[in-house]
Structure 1
Amino acid sequence: MSGGISSPLLVAVTIGIISGYLTLRKVRPNQLPLPPGPPSYPIIGQLLSMPRSSEGPAFIDMSIKLNSDIISYSFLGKTIVVLNSTEAAHDLLEKRSSIYSGRFCPPMIASPNLMNMKDFLVFMDTNELWKKQRRALSSRLSKHAVTAFRTSQELEARRLLVRLLVANTECVSSEFLNTEFYRTTATIFLQSVYGYELKSPQDPFFTDIITLNASITQAALPTAFLVNALPWLEYIPEWVPGTGWKRTAREWRAQKERTMSGAYNWAKQRFISGGDDSSMVSLTYNELREMGSTEAEADEFCKNIATALIGAGTETASSHGSYQWSGIDNTETFHSQR
């Protein structure tokens, strides 16, 4: 039974689930009713209905089935509310943002014992560190500041068009397009953030970004790891059978540190020696040092905002580019979607 869960662990998990269920039963009567959801079962709630992959299509199908653009899933003491329309999202997250807006940071992401990314901008709720990071990024991404990166953006856009024109001589897949747009946006961000010129898709700085984004996406899924539903599981020793996910988290954390430090250390060595004064990390680092931050504090701050910017920026920009290209290739479908 090397691949199964040991009896002590199974007993501990069972006791924890039952305790949480009984506690929830006592508290729940005082709460307002939740939006409609799939069938619920004792103890596990709606866990069996939570999609393990392709969450978006699964949520849309459930929304259609329940005839509601707002649905919910409750399991093991956790509740997930899904908004499946622009109107619902705007009403709750824009008009009533002070009540409903927040950032989901599951234990697999937040815990110092796991991936340890609670201080990343995209996972923090509004606090002083979040405000400081936001101010730093805003000063680098203002309408005036971004003009400094226009030359590199135009150059990479031309290079992308050349690659697409060459590939257009034969049928290309959507995967090829996604890869090319991802490469272009990553090149632009690496140049703007670190002053680094990406010359090959096999460059470790580029492949590390892809790997980190993939691991973060997986770790953030509510049902991908049981610890996201039962946070106390992180304290179970790693030698206990059935806790291989802790080894996965340790490997992902090491890879995250490698991604954060690799490009940043390259950039720092360059701007400390006087070779660069225009990259985002160079300008931010110098400002922090002038304001009294220690070298270690400035390093940690710059690593966090740089990694968050590149991670989120490459995903968003490349997806937008792929979408626009698909619209050019399928004009009628594109206009109907708009």
Structure 2
Amino acid sequence: MEFTLAVAVFSILLYALRWNRNRSKLPLPPGPRKLPLVGNFFDMPTERQWETFLKWSKQFKSDIIHLNVAGTSIVVLSSIEAVKELFEKRSALYSGRPRMPMVVELMGCNFLIAFMEYGNRWRSHRKMFYEGFNVGAVEQFQPQELAATHELLRRLLRGFADVVNDFRHFTGAVIMNITYGIDIRGADDKYIKIAKEGIERISTASMPGAYLVILGQYSCIEIRADWIPGTEFKRKAINWKKIVQDSLQLPFAETQQNIATGTARTSFTSINLRLVEELTGTELEEQEAVIKATAANMYLGAVDTTVSALGTFILAMLLNPEVQKKAQAEIDSVVGSGQLPGFADKPTLPYVSAIVKEVLRWRNVTPLAFPHYLAAEDEYRGYRIPANSIVIGNAWAILHDEAIYPDPHSFKPERFLLSEGKLNPAIRDPETVAFGFGRRSVNLSRETHGRGIVVVSILSTFNIDKAIGEDDREIEPSHEYSPGVVPTPLPFKCSITPRSPQAVEMIQATS
């Protein structure tokens, strides 16, 4: 009996050993030729990585490519089939995050859900995040969002030159009100500035290839890819950490103070702090920490994605005046010209809804999102994916896949519509791709973003045209975007004018 058991165990071990050996003999996914020691270190793009990854995917005729950057295995997925199989069906394997010492340890971003290790801490924060900001939860804040939208219309009416900055002010006002119950105090409000600087630093530091992990004999450090050697990254991290911590601490502390003085308004933070006020000691501290972190995730996570989408909307209207006219005709027929649009009007405006979808597809706000991490070796389509690989979903490639979206580089809202003008449910909604994949997707309620109500309100009351220069010629917008995880249109010139005297009166009446 003992001999039989020993033989059985030996046979199982031998089979496992042979299986692992055979598996390790599987080829790696295709990719650029690797140099000795450094691999693809010099191939790794430092900007607009998604376009280079897509170019390689087409070059090697594969929706999965492999890079080795100074010993770090990087796998890029460029099809909806690949991301669904790995990030959704195999989410238990692919929901981790790679270690990012520059972002998490040196800059102190361990409170951001996007960078948390997959586990109980991540689950508790994600649970509160989605409970606090789902569609039902944010409906109570629609009056505040509509008020901020009307303030944006008034700012546009006054003719400020920087429309992207106007969108940043609007988004900051909505997020601060919903999350903390705090009013934004003017164009140079400190919370707008803190959020902008914090997002820029985090976005820069977390881009693939921006900071490479080097394992030394003492500790894990990061070196900027475009200057080796150097220690400037440490000085940057110290300064950037203060900005990040200010975004975590300052608005939360103001809400706490407002609660103490009885002046706090209803917000995500005030609601949740009152729910735990009976707790004491460590339990209270832990719950307050989760509330504080969740609020900061909303504060930092929703601003730039919304600013990017709204800026892209304006650029799209400048390039496609016929789309603007068609949308305005739909709004006029449904809402009329004697009132401003409201949330109740949005479901009856399919063409405007299609514009919002096309904005997210055409210039998606997170072309690569955040990388996933594979701890154990895996296999996909006959290719070996090594353990400890960084796995990236190329949302840009998916949203510009000609098989899903024909003529992908053209702005065509009609692609989301049936012949009779209704939304076509058979066409993949860009929202399912634009904000990440699988369990690590960070998409928020569409109402919280404020995209839809702003788009319909602007189209209802304004005409968007190219600016006219001193030589009486149209000024072409630059179409340049900032670098980082969330590319945002750089400031550009345009002309935004009221459609009618009646539109001016309606906007002024909201003050």
Q: TM-score, normalised by structure 1?
A: 0.78
**Larger helix proportion, structure 1 or 2?**
1
* Structure 1 residue 137 corresponds to structure 2 residue 105: no
Aligned mate of 1:42, from 36, 46, 53: 36
**Conserved 8 A contact 1:285-1:302:** yes
Aligned mate of 1:255, from 234, 243, 247: 243
Letter in 2 for 1:146: V
Cα distance in 1 for partners of 2:262, 2:145 equals 24
User: Which consecutive residues of structure 1, in runs of 5 or more, have no partner in the other structure?
Assistant: 1-26
1:305–1:334 CA distance, 2 compared to 1 (3 A):
same
Deviation of residue 158 (structure 1)? 1.7
Aligned residue runs from structure 1 range 1-338, under 5 A: 30=24, 32-111=26-105, 114-167=106-159, 176-226=162-212, 228-230=213-215, 232-234=219-221, 242-276=230-264, 278-292=266-280, 294=282, 296-329=285-318, 330=320, 331=323, 333-335=411-413
Q: Describe the superposition over 1:218-258 as per-residue Cα deviations: whole angstroms up to 9, x where unpaired.
A: 111232223x344734399xxxx821211111111122112
**Conserved 8 A contact 1:277-1:283:** no
1:204–1:57 CA distance, 2 compared to 1 (3 A):
same
Letter in 2 for 1:204: K
Cα distance in 1 for partners of 2:255, 2:186 equals 18
Deviation of residue 95 (structure 1)? 3.2
Cα distance in 2 for partners of 1:230, 1:58 equals 27
1:56–1:336 CA distance, 2 compared to 1 (3 A):
farther
Cα distance in 2 for partners of 1:162, 1:48 equals 49
Q: What's the counterpart of residue 12 of structure 1?
A: none
Letter in 1 for 2:240: W
1:218–1:43 CA distance, 2 compared to 1 (3 A):
same
**Conserved 8 A contact 1:103-1:124:** yes
**Conserved 8 A contact 1:234-1:246:** no
Deviation of residue 115 (structure 1)? 1.3
Q: How many residues align?
A: 299
Letter in 1 for 2:52: A
**Conserved 8 A contact 1:281-1:302:** yes
Q: What's the counterpart of residue 24 of structure 1?
A: none
Deviation of residue 337 (structure 1)? 7.0
Cα distance in 2 for partners of 1:162, 1:47 equals 50
Cα distance in 2 for partners of 1:31, 1:212 equals 45
Aligned to 2:221, the other structure's residue is in SS state helix
Q: Which structure exhibits the higher relative contact order, with contacts defined as CA atoms closer than 8 Å and separated by 6 or more residues? A: 2
1:220–1:158 CA distance, 2 compared to 1 (3 A):
same
Aligned to 2:42, the other structure's residue is in SS state helix
Aligned to 1:47, the other structure's residue is in SS state coil
Most deviating of 303-312 and 241-250: 241-250
1:32–1:156 CA distance, 2 compared to 1 (3 A):
farther
Q: What's the counterpart of residue 5 of structure 1?
A: none
Letter in 1 for 2:241: R
Letter in 2 for 1:213: I
Cα distance in 2 for partners of 1:274, 1:264 equals 15
Provide the alpha-carbon RMSD of the alignment. 2.9
1:235–1:101 CA distance, 2 compared to 1 (3 A):
closer
1:62–1:166 CA distance, 2 compared to 1 (3 A):
farther
Q: TM-score, normalised by structure 2?
A: 0.53
**Conserved 8 A contact 2:211-2:222:** no
Deviation of residue 67 (structure 1)? 2.5
Letter in 1 for 2:413: H
Cα distance in 2 for partners of 1:218, 1:138 equals 26
Deviation of residue 105 (structure 1)? 4.4
Deviation of residue 48 (structure 1)? 0.6
Cα distance in 1 for partners of 2:280, 2:264 equals 21
Aligned to 2:295, the other structure's residue is in SS state helix
**Larger strand proportion, structure 1 or 2?**
2
**Conserved 8 A contact 1:36-1:66:** yes
Most deviating of 67-76 and 319-328: 319-328
Letter in 2 for 1:81: V
The alignment-based identity, stated in percent, is: 27
Most deviating of 52-61 and 145-154: 52-61
1:251–1:234 CA distance, 2 compared to 1 (3 A):
same
Deviation of residue 288 (structure 1)? 3.0
**Conserved 8 A contact 1:71-1:83:** yes
1:268–1:217 CA distance, 2 compared to 1 (3 A):
same
Cα distance in 1 for partners of 2:304, 2:235 equals 26
1:242–1:328 CA distance, 2 compared to 1 (3 A):
closer
Q: Describe the superposition over 1:152-172 as per-residue Cα deviations: whole angstroms up to 9, x where unpaired.
A: 10011122233335549xxx7
